[in-house]
A = this chain, B = another copy of it.
Amino acid sequence: MAVSLLTQTRQDRRENAIERLLTVTHDDMARVNAMILERADSHVDMVPELARYLIESGGKRLRPMLTVAAAALFGKGNGSAVNFAAAVEFMHNATLLHDDVVDESGMRRGKPAARMVWGNKASILVGDFLLGQAFMMMVETGDVAALAVLSAASATMAEGEVFQLAKTGDLTTTPEDYAEVIRAKTAVLFQAACEVGAMAGGADETGRKALSLYGLELGNAFQLVDDVLDYGGQSGTLGKNVGDDLREGKMTLPIILSLAEGSDAEKATITNTLGKADASAFEVGQVVAILNRHGTLTRTLEKARGHAEAAVAALGVLPESEMKTILADVVEFSVGRAY
């Protein structure tokens, strides 16, 4: 009974981890959001129109929340965290604008993608503008060490996207290739967001490294879960947007593992659908059935859970605090999205 109650409590805690993160970062995030609005402005009307359409389209702003939370964890916020948080969100949104052009995506966050409204050209150029503004906000802090972290993340993210593009539809892609793609395209920004937050908060070398590792592992777990959700989650339930990665030819872990283990007939079914932009729900369903048969969605989630545990473990060197508990619970929440 006591165990059951404890389990219940922990589950509740996980489930409202984002709400608690929102609460404890509320004041800082109000400043971040004001800065985001201000810096997305321009005398060229199309810039704020397009930028705000995306930025205000209901993303959780998880990355900037992590930055200000990491700063608050060490308590000695010097104001730079707000700039870094806004910069991280701009970097993320610039990437989304360019990714939607590269992936030819029609939808983003439940709305038509910006490129469907303003076109590919404007999406590319406004992405560049947001990147430039991100660097300006960082530079204003004068913190060269943090600038090094964020500029390296910027280059690595683009490199990861190119690697993913080069591997599109490549049946020889290995689990190691995939691990490198998700580290570079996703985890490195989570890592930088947490690391520069810690730096802005006055963390020592131990604290900085702990938050860097926490962010990296959280980001890896996050992308693995995203890649499972693209096939309907652990249950393989079909719904809207399920199969986008498949239709785009993206070599994510469930596909890589299934190709390695499937029968010749199963492999043929996968390869016939992989990269087929107009694949029907039926064809996608056939592939999901193969993924379920080989348990590769479940195993991908187990891998995510491993990274999630590593993220929580990375915080172990730090003293207990409410913020530390929240950051640990956010990891659990992120993985829990797929169940």
Cα distance A120–B104 when bound, in Å? Answer: 11
B residues in contact with A120, CB < 8 Å: 101
Interface stretch (choices A9-17, A28-36, A144-152, A318-326): A144-152
Interface stretch (choices A126-134, A267-275, A278-286): A126-134
- CB-nearest residue of chain B to A144: B142
Is B158 a contact partner of A129 (Cβ separation < 8 A)? Answer: yes
B residues in contact with A132, CB < 8 Å: 151-158
Is B47 a contact partner of A122 (Cβ separation < 8 A)? Answer: no
Is B131 a contact partner of A102 (Cβ separation < 8 A)? Answer: no
Q: How many residues of A contact B (CB 8 A)?
A: 44
Across the interface, A165 reaches (CB within 8 A) one of B102, B125, B133, namely: B125
Interface stretch (choices A19-27, A38-46, A77-85, A306-314): A38-46
B residues in contact with A159, CB < 8 Å: 42-44, 47, 129
Is A44 a contact partner of B162 (Cβ separation < 8 A)? Answer: yes
Cα distance A161–B221 when bound, in Å? Answer: 37
Tell me whether A125 and B161 are in contact in the complex, defined as CB-CB below 8 angstroms, given that A132-B154, A136-B155, A151-B132 are known contacts: yes
A98 interfacial contact with B, CB 8 Å? yes
Is A121 a contact partner of B139 (Cβ separation < 8 A)? Answer: no
Is A124 a contact partner of B102 (Cβ separation < 8 A)? Answer: yes
Distance of A153 from chain B, by nearest CB (Å):
8
Tell me whether A139 and B151 are in contact in the complex, defined as CB-CB below 8 angstroms, given that A101-B124, A124-B98, A128-B131 are known contacts: yes
- CB-nearest residue of chain B to A180: B43
Cα distance A129–B152 when bound, in Å? Answer: 10
18 pairs across A/B with beta carbons < 8 Å? A42-B162, A43-B159, A44-B162, A98-B128, A102-B121, A122-B162, A125-B161, A126-B162, A128-B131, A128-B158, A132-B152, A133-B155, A135-B147, A135-B155, A136-B152, A139-B148, A142-B144, A147-B147
